Amino acid sequence: MNREEIKQKVFDALGIILVDKSMIHEGATFIDLAFEDDDTECLFAALGDVFNFAFPDQIKEQAITKPEDFSLHMIIELILLMGNEGNKTRIKPGHRH
């Protein structure tokens, strides 16, 4: 999945959680989105379902305790990174693509 597809899925998940969708853009922080703790949990759960992995507890905790430092851009980059790491573990040794 490419970056734009991931970004759209993140925005789609946010669209379900947020009433005011005007603040949904890649640079928005969780403060900008007026996220509450349960909104953050819902977002990570929804994205975990969409991308078929669990976000590390440390990341979820950081998003709750320092929402001003946590942006949608970071979420998208994290999903890209976690997806790439997952792909590396699926490639059998000796096989190149």
Predicted local confidence at residue 1, as pLDDT: 86
The residue-averaged pLDDT of 39-54 equals 94
Angstrom CA distances, 91 to 56, 74, 81, 94, stand at 22, 26, 16, 9
Query: 3-90 in CATH: which number?
Result: 1.10.1200.10
- Is residue 10 within 8 Å of residue 76, measured between CB atoms? yes
Q: Domain residue spans in the chain? A: 3-90
pLDDT tens, residue by residue, 15-43: 999 988 898 999 999 999 999 999 999 99
